Amino acid sequence: MQNYFYALTDRIQNLLPKNHHFTCYLSSEDSDFVRFNQAKIRQAGSVKQSVLQLDLIHGQKHTLSSIGLSDNLETDIEKLKNLLRQEEEKLTQVPDDPYLLYATDVRSSEEIRPNHLPGAPETIQDILRQVKNLDFVGIYASGATHRGFANSFGQKNWLSSFSFNFDFSVYLHSDKAVKSSYAGFDWDLESFDKEITQVKEKLSVLQKPSITIKPGKYRTYLTPTAFYDILSLLSWGGFSEKMTRTKQSPLLRLQDRGESLHSCFHLSENSKEGLGPLFQTDGFIKPGNVSLIKSGKLDQCLISPRTAKEYSIATNGANAMEAPESLDVAAGHLNRNAILKELDTGLYVNNLWYLNYSDKPGCRMTGMTRFATFWVENGQITSPLNVMRFDDSLYHILGDNLLGLTKERDFLIDSGTYEERSTASARLPGALIDNFNLTL
């Protein structure tokens, strides 16, 4: 696919109208998908698709468009000829864009990561052997994702990555279920077996009668998955330079009022170890790591090219939304194998959902517990909990009430497949919190 993409962009260069420039960004995948229900394969297939985004530029005017590629060079070249004619006509109608900024310094790169994935049939057999006799549902997605960039200045960038993501749930009855996932770059049967064993252990607890506790503040352990739900909400503007400057960030108190989170909390955008490329759609190169929160203090923000142009500052290769794509929270000091003992008495939360802000300026969040949430007494899981609502400020959750983070971290891949497989990911520990506020 790499050579094909470069052949197309070379042809665009030859077709380019005089005094015009262009940028091209390719999103491509070659993926296998398998859906399971009641521990049986219900749907299996593959998707091979490539979408080319073209930005035609003349002065401060530009038009953005995209086309699906057919993998037939002559057919796609004809598509591009027609597209360039249409976009050139549009350029005569659009106004100048005062915040247009694109890379002009040529910084080419190539990264083709090793493919350690077994064939999908082999992996599916591993799965079926482990989940027989379970009320098991899920979706397995694996394969190659490719990203490419080229522009009229001669810059060319490429990334090929190979990963899998298995998002699944095991049901007891009605809404009583354990949700889990297993993701990475190298399918390991032993690790998957361990994950299924843990799910079965939690499922056995779900067979006990569920209890309801009174609203109040409880010592709580958030698994990496539940922790990810909270950080995903925070990513909606929390680390955006634009949102910070326009006073719309949920972390304004961290910036303006001298607030801080716990000193053990360190959060970064770790693009170097994520799934996505170290280049973005305008051709700017991302740093391998951007420190967002350091020792509980706001450190840096993500700066897109448009924001950089608007405020006369340097971009750090952020996407247009200025949202992190490779979240990384530094490990703590707690041993995950001893987390129930550390928790002693309180809540063990596997998943959260329906999260939103109840007070955005105060970074106060609300949401529901989901699936397997347990009550723990004296370091032992005793009962499943009925669904509860929490409402708490991040300045408590990750501030004065944060008791610690686990040494062990999970690698989580966003399970989204809308339009294409997501390349967002996170490396997160679990979090032990005191006085987690339940309201309903």
Q: Which two tokens stand for residue 7?
A: 């052949």
Q: Which residues contact 2 (CB under 8 A, 6 or more apart)?
A: 110, 112, 146, 148, 158, 160
CA–CA separation, 182 vs 190, rounded Å?
A: 12
Q: What is the structure's pLDDT at 381? A: 95
DSSP, res 21: E
For domain 2-206, give its CATH number from 3.30.2290.10, 3.30.450.40, 3.20.19.10, 3.40.50.2000. Answer: 3.30.2290.10
CA–CA separation, 56 vs 23, rounded Å?
A: 7
Q: What is the structure's pLDDT at 257? A: 75
CA–CA separation, 346 vs 349, rounded Å?
A: 10
Positive or negative, the CA dihedral 236, 404, 412, 135 is negative
Q: Which two tokens stand for residue 368?
A: 């529901």
CA–CA separation, 200 vs 68, rounded Å?
A: 43
SS3 78: helix
Query: In Å, how far are 46, 267, 279 from 290, measured between CA atoms?
Result: 35, 9, 14
The pairing of strands 135-151 and 21-37 is antiparallel
CA–CA separation, 80 vs 135, rounded Å?
A: 49
Q: What is the mean pLDDT of each run of 10 residues along the chain (440 residues)?
A: 95 92 97 96 96 97 96 93 94 96 97 94 93 94 97 97 96 88 93 94 93 97 97 96 96 87 97 95 97 96 98 96 97 97 97 96 95 94 95 97 97 92 96 97
Q: What is the structure's pLDDT at 263? A: 96
Contact of 238 with 357, CB cutoff 8 Å: no
Q: Where in the chain is the domain with CATH 3.30.2290.10?
A: 2-206
Q: What is the structure's pLDDT at 258? A: 80
Q: What is the structure's pLDDT at 371? A: 86
